[in-house]
């Protein structure tokens, strides 16, 4: 048995650990020592938790402690935004010559299945994104009392290390290949009625308008419809420029969401596309990044047979 | 605001009209030329007809322009071929063309006219692949000259069988347009001290916008009005930021008025403030 997270020595590389807790007490017992140890070492400590847990932890740590508190509900509403945020923090702390340790809970209880699916892919891709970079530690709390079994099992597969407030061990279920495999696995097809259309090079404007009309018919706000219009523009352009010249737009609605999906025959080999902030001078790769920032939930999957970007907007 | 938008016939004459007229049949084109010029006569402007097709429209059996021969003889109406204007201006470039029309407008004002109203049928210039870029630059610069209160108004006519990209490029730089709207998804024109961008800019039209902006005459400050902009994507924003960067290099600050909250959010997400600083202000300034 290895000691719990807080008392481990400084990591050699990226250390990605799932912390399973049962209640507030075991949450604090697992996270507090990790945070305090980071502060003692002079590391930059960043905590990204949903509001309730954020307050619980802040009260326990003390408001005066030099911790950066991030609202995970805002940052991680679309989990594809989180890696970019960690990347920015890591670059800043590395440039300042400091260590970094983070706490991130993207898969909090009460999220929808599609969100949990993206949380799992996000957790897998964290390893892809940071494994070859500077050393830092990320502790990801999982509520083992309230989360669905599949989410808990997914956490075992996406984290090389798993722990409770008492124990810490390597995860036997973890596999480095899972990230690429999950990214290449098609999304579940909808059971609802789907509106479908094909677009080509000259159809960008018409496709934007179709999407806006659909968004309004679903009762989305003007702001939500505009974000989808912009997303449509970027994704149609991607299909035309990189996806074989044409694509398909599919639209359907559920009780809680309006969903717009763009598919084409192109293949994206880098699963981190859209999750990193492109440097200002870089022209390509901005569309997906912007879509990730603007939209409620974005699901990107790609394999040699084609690419799909599914955008969910909560009603 | 200056007269702008899509029209089916020449609108009532105002100062600073700049109308792009895409035409197919000679007869309705002749009617449009005469209607545009007649508006100038009523306003007390001198008329200048440039290009063979425009000049041909003066031969009107219905006499809607009155006694054309008398107008010509009295100096209220002048005609020139495109070649004659090119010879007089020295070259097809924004600066020599502007100098030519500036002189012609001043002459009209000095002669007691209220301004100069020009109809120019310049299809032959637009049809030359070696000239089209410079022609569009000049049209854009001409719009600034016309909007500046110079006293000039113009109807610029092009045949509808020119390549769609050519027609789209010239339509885009006129506030008033008669032609297929889908060819120019956005419009860029001047209004008082402002440059106004309307319509939609996406990745397929952003390069054209960037080229136009690069050729925009700018003074010590620049003000871009986006209040009437329907849509802009990442490539369009980058075109705006690229222009802001060029202006910054010349120490000209750019104010962007009436940008939507979404555009400002996109600007922030894309980190475009780092490319060049831009001041966003509300639509009322």
Q: Are residues A136 and A259 in the same domain?
A: no
Q: Are residues A306 and A240 in the same domain?
A: yes
Output the domain CATH number for residue A73: 3.40.50.300
End-of-domain residue from the set B184, B219, B253 = B184
Which of A226, A232, A233 is the best residue to mutate to test the B interface, defined by the most B CB atoms within 10 Å of its own CB? A233
By C-alpha distance, the chain B residue nearest A206 is B182
Tracing tokens 């039209």 back to the chain, one arrives at: B205
Domain region containing A144: 14-182
Q: Are residues A212 and A297 in the same domain?
A: yes
In a domain, A197, yes or no: yes
Q: Is A208 on the interface with B (CB under 8 A)?
A: yes
Q: Are residues A141 and A221 in the same domain?
A: no
Each residue's pLDDT, cut to its tens digit, for chain B (285 residues) gives 888 899 999 999 999 999 999 999 989 999 999 999 999 999 999 999 999 999 999 987 777 888 999 999 999 999 999 999 999 998 778 889 999 999 999 999 999 999 999 999 999 999 999 999 999 999 999 999 999 999 999 999 999 999 999 999 999 999 999 999 888 899 999 998 899 999 999 999 999 999 999 988 777 779 999 999 999 999 999 999 999 999 999 999 999 999 999 999 999 998 898 888 899 998 765
By C-alpha distance, the chain B residue nearest A81 is B269
State how many domains chain A has. Answer: 2
Q: Are residues B167 and B202 in the same domain?
A: no
Ordered DSSP codes for B14-41: -TT-EEEEEE-SHHHHHHHHHHHHHHHH
Nearest Cβ partner for A290 among B182, B200, B266? B266
Q: Are residues B110 and B180 in the same domain?
A: yes
Structure tokens at B253: 């600050």
Q: Are residues B59 and B115 in the same domain?
A: yes
**CB-CB under 8 Å, B203 with A233:** yes
* Beta carbons of A89 and A68 less than 8 angstroms apart: yes
Q: Are residues B37 and B123 in the same domain?
A: yes
In a domain, A7, yes or no: no
Tens digits of residue pLDDT in A247-285: 999 999 999 999 999 999 999 999 999 998 877 666 677
Output the domain CATH number for residue B45: 3.40.50.300
Q: Is A230 on the interface with B (CB under 8 A)?
A: yes
In angstroms, the separation between the Cα of residue B256 and the nearest Cα of chain A is 20
Q: Are residues B126 and B221 in the same domain?
A: no
Q: How far apart are alpha carbons A207 and A248 in whole angstroms?
A: 10
Tracing tokens 């408001």 back to the chain, one arrives at: A63
- Model confidence, pTM: 0.89
Q: Over the Cα atoms of chain A, what is R_g?
A: 20
Q: Is A289 on the interface with B (CB under 8 A)?
A: yes
Output the domain CATH number for residue B209: 3.30.750.24
Residue B54: exposure state from Cβ atoms within 10 A (0-12, 13-18, ≥19):
buried
Q: Are residues B116 and B204 in the same domain?
A: no
Q: Are residues B198 and B180 in the same domain?
A: no
Nearest Cβ partner for B269 among A233, A283, A293? A293
Tens digits of residue pLDDT in A51-67: 999 999 999 999 899 99
Q: Is A212 on the interface with B (CB under 8 A)?
A: no
Q: Are residues B16 and B139 in the same domain?
A: yes
Domain region containing B86: 1-184
Mean pLDDT score across all residues of chain A: 94
Q: Over the Cα atoms of chain B, what is R_g?
A: 19
Q: What's CA A45's distance to the chain center, in Å?
A: 20
**CB-CB under 8 Å, A289 with B204:** no
Q: What's CA B11's distance to the chain center, in Å?
A: 16
CA nearest neighbour of A281 among B248, B204, B277, B276: B276
Q: Residues of B at the A interface (Cβ-Cβ below 8 Å)?
A: 182, 185, 200, 202-204, 231, 233-235, 238, 260-262, 265-266, 269-272, 274-275
End-to-end C-alpha distance for chain B, whole angstroms: 14
In a domain, A120, yes or no: yes
State how many domains chain B has. Answer: 2
Nearest Cβ partner for B269 among A201, A204, A290? A290
> Coil, strand or helix: which one is B184?
coil
Structure tokens at B270: 């894309």
End-of-domain residue from the set B184, B215, B230 = B184
> Coil, strand or helix: which one is A252?
strand
Which of A202, A280, A281 is the best residue to mutate to test the B interface, defined by the most B CB atoms within 10 Å of its own CB? A280
Q: Are residues B169 and B219 in the same domain?
A: no
Output the domain CATH number for residue A272: 3.30.565.10
Give chain B's length.
Answer: 285
pLDDT, residue A275, reads 95
Q: How far apart are alpha carbons B18 and A235 in whole angstroms?
A: 36
Q: Are residues B255 and B151 in the same domain?
A: no
Residues of chain B with Cβ-Cβ distance to A223 below 8 Å are 261-262
Non-local CB neighbours of B184 within 8 Å, separated by 6+ positions: B167, B168, B169, B171, B172, B177, B199
Other beta carbons within 10 Å of B227: 16
pLDDT, residue B221, reads 77
Q: Are residues A150 and A191 in the same domain?
A: no
End-of-domain residue from the set A148, A165, A182 = A182
A230, A265, A266 from A247: Cα distances, Å: 17, 7, 9
In a domain, A1, yes or no: no
Tens digits of residue pLDDT in B43-74: 999 999 999 999 999 987 777 888 999 999 99
């Amino acid at each position: 048995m290895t000691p719990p997270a807080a008392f481990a020595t400084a990591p050699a590389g990226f250390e990605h650990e799932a912390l399973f807790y049962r209640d507030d007490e075991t949450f604090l017992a697992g996270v507090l020592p990790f945070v305090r140890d980071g502060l003692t070492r002079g590391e930059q400590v960043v905590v990204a938790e949903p509001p309730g847990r954020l307050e619980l932890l802040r009260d326990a740590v003390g408001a005066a402690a030099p911790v950066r508190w991030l609202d995970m509900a805002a940052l991680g509403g679309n989990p594809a935004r989180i890696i970019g945020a960690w990347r920015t923090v890591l670059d800043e702390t590395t440039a300042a010559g400091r260590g970094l340790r983070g706490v991130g809970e993207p898969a909090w209880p009460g999220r929808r299945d599609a969100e949990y699916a993206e949380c799992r892919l996000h957790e897998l891709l964290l390893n892809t994104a940071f494994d070859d970079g500077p050393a830092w530690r990320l502790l990801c709390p999982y509520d083992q009392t309230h989360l669905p079994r599949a989410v808990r099992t997914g956490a075992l597969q996406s984290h090389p290390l798993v722990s409770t407030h008492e124990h810490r061990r390597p995860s036997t279920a973890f596999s480095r290949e899972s990230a690429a495999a999950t990214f290449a696995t098609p999304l579940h097809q909808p059971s609802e009625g789907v509106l479908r259309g094909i677009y080509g090079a000259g159809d960008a404007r018409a496709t934007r308008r179709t999407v806006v009309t659909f968004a309004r018919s679903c009762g989305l706000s003007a702001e939500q419809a505009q974000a989808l219009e912009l997303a449509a523009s970027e994704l149609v352009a991607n299909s035309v420029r990189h996806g074989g010249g044409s694509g398909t737009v599919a639209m359907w609605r559920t009780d809680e969401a309006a969903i717009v999906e763009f598919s084409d025959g192109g293949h994206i080999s880098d699963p981190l596309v859209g999750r990193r902030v492109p440097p200002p001078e870089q022209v390509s790769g901005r569309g997906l990044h912007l879509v990730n920032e603007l939209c409620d939930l974005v699901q990107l999957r790609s394999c040699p047979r084609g690419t799909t970007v599914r955008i969910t907007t909560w009603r | 605001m200056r007269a702008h938008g899509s029209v089916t016939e020449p609108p009532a004459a105002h100062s600073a009209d700049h109308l792009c007229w895409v035409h197919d049949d000679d007869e309705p084109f002749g009617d449009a030329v005469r209607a545009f010029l007649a508006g100038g006569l009523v306003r007390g402007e001198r008329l200048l007809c440039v290009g063979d097709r425009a000049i041909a429209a003066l031969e009107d059996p219905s006499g809607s322009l009155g006694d054309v021969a008398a107008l010509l003889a009295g100096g209220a109406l002048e005609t020139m071929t495109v070649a004659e204007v090119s010879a007089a201006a020295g070259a097809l470039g924004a600066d020599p063309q502007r100098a030519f029309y500036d002189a012609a407008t001043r002459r009209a004002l000095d002669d007691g006219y209220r301004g100069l109203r020009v109809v120019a049928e310049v299809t032959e210039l637009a049809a030359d692949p070696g000239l089209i870029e410079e022609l569009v630059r000049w049209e854009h610069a001409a719009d600034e000259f016309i909007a500046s209160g110079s006293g000039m108004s113009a109807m610029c006519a092009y045949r509808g069988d020119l390549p769609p990209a050519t027609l789209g490029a010239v339509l885009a730089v006129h506030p008033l347009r008669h032609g297929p709207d889908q060819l120019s998804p956005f419009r860029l024109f001047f209004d008082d001290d402002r440059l106004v961008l309307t319509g939609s800019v996406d990745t397929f039209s952003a390069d054209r916008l960037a080229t136009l902006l690069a050729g925009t005459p700018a003074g010590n400050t620049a003000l871009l009005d986006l209040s009437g902009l329907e849509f802009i994507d990442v490539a369009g924003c980058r075109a705006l930021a690229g222009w802001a960067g060029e202006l910054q290099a010349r120490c000209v600050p750019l104010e962007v008025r009436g940008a939507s909250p979404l555009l400002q959010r996109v600007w922030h997400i894309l980190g475009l403030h780092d490319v060049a600083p831009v001041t966003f202000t509300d639509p009322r300034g």
